[in-house]
Structure formats: structure tokens, C-alpha cells
């Protein structure tokens, strides 16, 4: 989100980008997996601004359709990015026509993408999060960074947000599959950068329940309330995977949640959903941008129904360790 705000909102860059076919992808996947499209990216990125094999390849790249590198940079400074784009465009204009075209047999189609598991008939929430205030509040320490993620529930899981036959006045505690999805993977400190998920056994206290406010024919309106306390201290508990850190953990998150939603029993889907959470964070992880910030502070979370736009089909940050057996693994 910092790049969008500081670089891609610049009118000069918006204008010059019209000379290109812009595309974006999750670099965490591209720099790690053994897949056709990733190989093309890795070969190009190894020649880019980092000039090395391995490590992060995060950045902005200008390339030909076949993946030939023209220019690259990793910067949040609009002036520097603009100069890099201009350089790439100049190199593109100097290429002979034969090198601008892509061969007919060049099909770097991925064998696996997490988006292939997108729950078309389930519920997808757009999760926005932003720093509120430090503890105690210090305005100068408040970051204006914010972030977006997506929460996936398939059709069966979405239905678990309500009891089998919801009636006005009913109270219903949500099952572990729902609470773990939220408290382990989405109520985390990633407003400023990438962080780590919590393991289910690190959720020390939690409750998430709904109250049926109105039942009119097939329409059900509910109120959502809840709280959680997650504590990660010491050993990593989620096994060997791409997230496994090489240090002992020492961070936690406490949240309070409030929301409302409407579900149509006939359509078997949510038609409205809005939930907010206030989280009190403590501690830091390696890449969550807290190195120079106070040890504790408050984060605001907002969960709303995704609109179904192409950009809303981005997989959740922790989809590879989700508590969902319907996610297609590589």
C-alpha cells in the first residue's frame, strides 16, 4: 500500500504507465516456487537491481513480453521510479521489432496458483487495517501505513456463521474453523509490513458469537461480537514452511470485535457484512516494519464483503498455511 500511495498515485507515473501493460503479482510466490511463470521472473529479476540469485526480488521491473529485463528498481521515491521507467521505455523503443514480439511457443503458464482455490460460491472478505495510536498515544509515532488482505470461506464455512435454523433472539458461538481463520491468520500485526500468523494453540482466549436480530422469511440479520488474545512466545509452532522464522517469537495481539451482517437462506450467501476490530499489539516480528516503533500500540481492522473485482481475487497472505483442506496445494 505504501507503493500505491507514494509512487503509483503520482500523476507523472500514471501518465507514463499508459505506455505499458502494467501487471502485478505476489513476489513471495514468484521468487520461491518452481513453476513456469516463476522461472521467467527469476531469470529476469536475478539481473535486476539486486544483481544476485536468491533473497528478495521485490521491486518494479520493465521488461519485454518474453521477459528480457530493460530496467528495474525497488523504491518508494516517485522521482527515482520515474527515471527508471523512462530508462526502460527508451531501451524498449530502441529494440528491433523482432525482440519486441513474443514467440508463438512461449507459454509460461503456471501449473499452480493459489487463486485457483478462490471460493466463488463462498464468502470473501476484504480486510483493511491501519495503525491507530501507540500506547500511550503519541501522535508523532502513528504511522500512516495501511494494508489490505482477503479472508476466504468456502460455501459450507460461510454457512457456519449461522445456526442451522436461525430464529430471532438466538445466540450462537462460531466454531473453531471460523475463529481460528480470523484470530490466527487475519487479526495480526501486518498494517505496516509482513508478519507471522499465530498457531491455534497460541490463541489463549477467544470468543466469537452472533445474535440473530431479525428473521424475515429467508433474510437473517445478525450482530457479531467477540474478543481474542493471541500470544506467540518462544518456539514456532506451525511446522516447516515458507514462514518458519529463525528466531524465537515474542509478540501478541488482543482484539475486540463488533459487526453486523445479513444472510439470505434462499440464496445461501451473505448479502451484507461489516465487522470492525480494535487490536492491541505488543512485540515485533522481523518484517512487519516495527523496528523503530514503540513495542505496543493499537490497530484498526475493517472486514467487508469483497466486490468480486479481479483485484479482489488475490489470495490471503497466509493461504499456504490456512486451516482449510479445500485449498489446492502445489
Summarised one tens digit per residue, pLDDT across range 67-109 is 899 999 999 999 999 999 999 999 999 999 888 888 777 776 7
What pLDDT does 10 receive? 95
User: Is the distance from CB of 63 to CB of 69 less than 8 angstroms?
Assistant: yes
**pLDDT score of 1 more than 90:** no
What pLDDT does 89 receive? 97
What pLDDT does 137 receive? 66
Summarised one tens digit per residue, pLDDT across range 122-167 is 999 999 999 997 666 666 655 677 899 999 999 999 999 999 999 9
Dihedral angle, C-alpha 274, 228, 114, 329, nearest 10 °: -140
What pLDDT does 141 receive? 59
User: Is the distance from CB of 316 to CB of 150 less than 8 angstroms?
Assistant: yes
**Residue 189 — very low, low, confident or very high, per pLDDT cuts 50/70/90?**
very high
CA distance 271 to 287: 36
**Residue 183 — very low, low, confident or very high, per pLDDT cuts 50/70/90?**
very high
CA distance 30 to 229: 34
What pLDDT does 206 receive? 97
DSSP string, 237-302: -S-SSTT--SS-EEEEEEEEEEEEEEEETTTTEEEEEEEEEEEEEEE--TTSS-TTS-SEEEEEEE
User: Is the distance from CB of 198 to CB of 254 less than 8 angstroms?
Assistant: no
Report which of residues 57 and 199 the model is more confident about. 199
Amino acid at each position: 500500500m505504501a507503493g500505491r500511495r507514494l509512487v503509483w498515485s503520482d500523476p507523472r507515473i500514471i501518465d507514463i504507465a499508459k505506455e505499458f501493460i502494467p501487471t502485478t503479482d505476489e513476489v513471495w510466490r514468484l521468487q520461491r516456487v518452481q513453476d513456469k511463470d516463476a522461472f521467467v521472473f527469476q531469470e529476469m529479476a536475478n539481473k535486476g537491481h539486486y544483481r544476485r540469485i536468491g533473497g528478495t526480488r521485490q521491486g518494479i521491473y520493465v521488461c519485454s513480453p518474453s521477459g528480457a529485463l530493460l530496467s528495474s528498481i525497488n523504491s518508494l521515491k516517485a522521482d527515482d521510479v520515474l527515471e527508471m521507467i523512462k530508462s526502460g521505455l527508451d531501451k524498449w523503443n530502441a529494440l528491433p521489432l523482432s525482440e519486441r514480439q513474443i514467440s508463438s511457443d512461449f507459454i509460461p503458464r503456471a501449473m499452480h496458483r493459489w487463486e485457483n482455490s478462490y471460493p466463488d460460491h463462498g464468502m470473501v472478505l476484504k480486510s483493511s487495517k491501519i495503525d491507530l495510536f501507540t500506547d500511550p498515544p503519541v501522535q508523532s509515532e502513528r504511522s500512516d501505513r495501511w494494508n489490505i488482505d482477503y479472508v476466504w470461506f468456502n460455501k459450507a464455512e460461510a454457512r457456519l456463521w449461522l445456526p442451522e435454523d436461525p430464529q430471532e433472539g438466538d445466540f450462537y458461538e462460531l466454531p473453531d474453523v471460523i475463529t481460528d481463520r480470523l484470530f490466527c491468520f487475519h487479526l495480526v500485526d501486518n498494517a505496516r509490513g509482513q508478519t507471522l500468523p499465530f498457531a491455534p494453540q497460541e490463541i489463549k482466549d477467544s470468543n466469537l458469537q452472533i445474535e440473530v436480530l431479525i428473521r424475515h422469511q429467508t433474510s437473517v440479520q445478525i450482530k457479531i461480537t467477540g474478543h481474542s488474545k493471541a500470544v506467540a512466545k518462544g518456539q514456532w509452532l506451525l511446522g516447516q514452511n515458507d514462514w518458519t522464522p529463525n528466531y524465537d517469537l515474542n509478540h501478541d495481539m488482543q482484539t475486540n470485535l463488533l459487526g453486523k451482517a445479513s444472510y439470505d437462506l434462499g440464496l445461501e450467501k451473505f448479502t451484507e457484512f461489516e465487522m470492525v476490530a480494535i487490536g492491541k499489539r505488543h512485540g515485533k516480528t522481523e518484517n512487519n516494519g516495527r523496528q523503530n516503533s514503540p513495542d505496543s500500540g493499537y490497530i484498526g481492522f475493517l472486514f467487508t464483503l469483497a466486490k468480486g473485482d479481479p483485484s479482489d481475487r488475490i489470495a490471503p497472505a497466509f493461504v499456504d498455511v490456512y486451516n482449510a483442506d479445500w485449498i489446492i496445494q502445489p
